[in-house]
Amino acid sequence: MISEETGRLVSVQRRFFQSGATKSLDFRRDQLSALKKTLLEHEEDIFEALHQDLRRPVTESFFGETLFVINELDDALRNLSRWARPQRTATPLMMYPGQSVIYTEPYGVTLIIGPWNYPFQLILAPLIGAIAAGNCAILKPSELSVHTSALIKSMLGGIFEPYYVAVVEGEKDVAGALLQERFDYIFHTGSTSIGRVVMEAAARHLTPVTLELGGKSPCIVDRNLHMDSAVRRIVWGKFFNAGQTCVAPDYLLVKKELRDDVISGLLSSIKTFYGENPAESPDYSRIINSRHINRLSALLGEGKILCGGQFEEDSLYFAPTLIDEVTWESPCMQEEIFGPLLPILYYDSIEEAIDTVNRGQKPLALYLFTEDEDIQNRVIRETSSGGICINDTIVHIGTSHLPFGGVGESGMGAYHGKATFDTFSHKKSVMRRSLTPDPPFRYPPYQKLTGVFRSIMATLIR
């Protein structure tokens, strides 16, 4: 039954796309404007839904969700004509008279699968790009963030007809049924394990994908830094949304000589931000469900807990936790933490830190705290990650001017700003030529094309 419904939905969207209505720039602008208007009207409802799902403070919901989405909408509305304009490119002399142009065209019917940790931003931001590029879209929000998912369905249902943009709620069986269908593009944000499932399903139809995944993002702390600012920014980026951020610092790599100062600063910042008892702080989020509480508690098996470690399954509270004296064999170092646990490891030289990072899977983000430009350049040059942020955490994903995406097991493809438009657009190369002149030397018999003449032509065609 579910598969029949999803099949019909994909079919009606494909028919609407084939009508050509979505390709009009005026149509795209109208849809983006309507979306912006609705989001602004429902901003308080969005904050309330996020609070119900994650007990997210309004400030974090504003900066982490609605502000980013509105900025993406403004960027798309402001630049759509320029992004969609055909691009002239060079034509080799051999092909004159001729003209080479790159056109952008929409893929067609797209599937966007969203996660629960930022359930509003991480499904709306890809949708903006899909609409701007001229596609139809089916959205599958997470079944775990139930209040936000229901609100998204209600809001978008009031703007868009389902034959254009549809929101499909449900459990894993619904996602599975959708993945059985043939889409023209799939955009998935979530875990690496589910990313593999999505990619396997897409491969059956040779459907292109963008996978925004995760991994263990390291945070290197070296000399020549402003310690107070550094520890504040680390604590803020790690415990924002209770650590349930794909680019949160997953573990610290601290230069040994800085150990005491870093730990002291981290402990002080946690207390300053969240008080003596973070469970009573209005500025500290909750874990999404009890399964993840149990998953996180299982990671506490080794190491010395410097602060935190407390959790309450009923209230979904898990304290901001620092763990010292861990090894690479410790449970917390075996998987992406995706929660408010911060293990601390140490190194003697930057060469050792770089080697440590390179021994693992390529992370989604890498953080480095130092004012030493030589060390900054070495880390940029000698490591591979989805992105790097120097002397801050997580803020690099908040700009429309930097593409955001992973590499290796942390994902493939990128988005934000124009990169989202490009992700949902096929680049179609077009060459226009005249039928005259039509020199005979390009045609057989080729014996008349001497070696010297072939060399000249090879030079001209480059």
Active site residues: 212, 246
d(CA 414, CA 364) in angstroms, rounded, equals: 11
Any idea what the Cα angle at residue 212 is, between residues 167 and 138, rounded to 5°? 15
d(CA 110, CA 113) in angstroms, rounded, equals: 10
Beta bridge partners of 210: 187
d(CA 236, CA 246) in angstroms, rounded, equals: 14
Q: Are 433 and 97 in contact (CB under 8 A)?
A: yes
Q: Are 234 and 248 in contact (CB under 8 A)?
A: no
Count CB neighbours of 139 within 10 A.
24
| β strands within 275-386, DSSP E | 304-307, 311-312, 317-318, 321-324, 341-347, 365-369
d(CA 414, CA 187) in angstroms, rounded, equals: 10
Instruction: Write out the DSSP string of 87-139.
Output: EEE---GGG-SEEEEEEEEE-SEEEEE--SSSTTHHHHHHHHHHHHHT-EEEE
Any idea what the Cα angle at residue 346 is, between residues 344 and 351, rounded to 5°? 135
DSSP helix/strand/coil, 309: coil
Q: Are 84 and 101 in contact (CB under 8 A)?
A: no
Q: Are 364 and 213 in contact (CB under 8 A)?
A: yes
Q: Are 399 and 416 in contact (CB under 8 A)?
A: yes
